[in-house]
Structure 1
Amino acid sequence: MKFAVISEKLAKGLTEELDFIGDEKEIISYAIYTTLLSIIGTIMVVCLAYFLNVLKPTVIAVLFGGTLRRLSGGAHFNTPLKCLLFGTIAYCTIGISAKLLFIYELLNQTSLLTVTGIAFLLVLILAPVDSPAKPINSKKLQIVLKISSLGFIIISLLLIRLTNDPLIIVSAVLGLLYQSITLLPIFNRKEVKKSI
């Protein structure tokens, strides 16, 4: 299934109906594309996490890491299916890790704040990262995605500080860290030109 083709067709219909052109069309197409992939990926992750008995930490990691991914982009495989399979395995591994870190009390507040700070810096320097299948050509969209990514990490930090559940905190922080690491150039197949 060609997700890029589906998103382009949906965006074309929407933008023609709403009389949008240029940047607005690209923004809508990008949003549709990432939404389709997110829905399918989430279903796959939930099924495997349930089977592995790590549903709660995995879902929390996906909520935080997956939302950041929609805004910041990141490493991609050459097909959406490979990307979804790897993401499913990665997030379930994060769920298992979060559960173990929680059980054995291996992370403290300082280390969690440090990890969140690292995620913030990676996003500040590297986001947004696009893919060859869905490049981000609009400078306006690049700026919106960077600001949104940074804002999401700040909001996440506030939400994390408001909860008293250590498993939620560890899962959220690991989800943010995983996603921010996927922005590193070593995990991306092409150099992304940025104007910001």
Structure 2
Amino acid sequence: MIERLSNRIAIHLCHSNGKIEDTEIVKYGVEITLRGITKFIFLLFIGIYLNILPILILTTLSFSILRIFSGGFHFSSYVKCLLFSVTTLLFLSYCAILLGNFYTKDKEILHNIIILTTTISLILLLFFGPKINKDRPYQNKSKVFLIVSMVIILSGSIFCFLLHNSVVVIAIQLGILFQSLTLIRVKHIQ
């Protein structure tokens, strides 16, 4: 459904601008945008319903910002992606709330969590590198994506050291760590 709608929008936009040769590129951009909006609306309603919207947004933002530049695993269908990502982001948000409330007073443990998640995320990024979708424009700029991804991870961690809210810190770190884990290439076992 989203693919057909994206195709129609792209054809309309490209024909009205006289750039028919750009239809596939525009279709890709529209499709990614529509899928992102759909996920966001889905997460918004669930976050409001479960009364965890601020933490869910933080976890999702930290995951999404890094994912733009680092890429990662993709499911074969949008529905699988939607279900897995929503379920995982909800789980991580609840973990952030539980762990953050548990470690509210102990800043040393919180700092160790930041250091540990940052180190794991950087190692995964360096070992597996950005995993950019082959259909994405500029996918051949992997060094740029790698550097930007490293800056995002390090900036997020430095920002977390400055925060005093343990739930927020853990939400951001779990989002970054989860995205970094999607870089791992898993071979299919037959």
TM-score range, shorter chain: 0.7 to 0.9
The CA distance in 2 between the partners of 1:35 and 1:86, in whole Å, is: 19
Q: Which of 107, 116, 121 pairs up with 2:118?
A: 116
| CA deviation after TM superposition for structure 1 residue 51, in Å | 2.0
Q: How does 1:30-49 map to 2 (within 5 A)?
A: 32-49=30-47
Q: Contact (CA 8 Å) 2:118, 2:154: kept in 1 or not?
A: no
Q: Which residue of 1 aligns with 2:144?
A: 144
The CA distance in 1 between the partners of 2:97 and 2:166, in whole Å, is: 10
AA at the equivalent of 1:119: S
Q: Would the alpha carbon gap of residues 148 and 10 (structure 1) be closer, same or farther in structure 2, given more than 3 Å must change?
A: farther
Partner secondary structure for residue 129 of structure 1? coil
Q: Which residue of 2 aligns with 1:76?
A: 74
Tell me the TM-score normalized by structure 2. Answer: 0.77
The CA distance in 2 between the partners of 1:114 and 1:97, in whole Å, is: 16
Q: Deviations over 1:5-32 (max 9, x none)?
A: 8279739956x9598x89xx86x76655
Q: Which residue of 1 aligns with 2:100?
A: 102
Tell me the TM-score normalized by structure 1. Answer: 0.75
The CA distance in 1 between the partners of 2:4 and 2:155, in whole Å, is: 30
AA at the equivalent of 2:120: I
Between 54-63 and 176-185, report the one with greater CA deviation.
Answer: 54-63
Pair member with larger Rg: 2
| CA deviation after TM superposition for structure 1 residue 58, in Å | 1.3
The CA distance in 2 between the partners of 1:11 and 1:123, in whole Å, is: 37
Aligned residues: 183
Q: Would the alpha carbon gap of residues 32 and 143 (structure 1) be closer, same or farther in structure 2, given more than 3 Å must change?
A: farther
Partner secondary structure for residue 141 of structure 2? helix
The CA distance in 2 between the partners of 1:76 and 1:157, in whole Å, is: 26
What percent identity do the matched residue pairs reach?
24
Q: Would the alpha carbon gap of residues 36 and 110 (structure 1) be closer, same or farther in structure 2, given more than 3 Å must change?
A: same
Q: Which residue of 1 aligns with 2:52?
A: 54
AA at the equivalent of 1:146: L
Q: Would the alpha carbon gap of residues 51 and 136 (structure 1) be closer, same or farther in structure 2, given more than 3 Å must change?
A: same
The CA distance in 1 between the partners of 2:30 and 2:86, in whole Å, is: 20
The CA distance in 2 between the partners of 1:61 and 1:18, in whole Å, is: 41
Q: Contact (CA 8 Å) 2:63, 2:176: kept in 1 or not?
A: yes
Superposed CA RMSD in Å reads: 3.3
| CA deviation after TM superposition for structure 1 residue 57, in Å | 1.7
| CA deviation after TM superposition for structure 1 residue 91, in Å | 0.3
Q: Which runs of 5+ in 1 are unaligned?
A: 190-196
Partner secondary structure for residue 183 of structure 1? coil
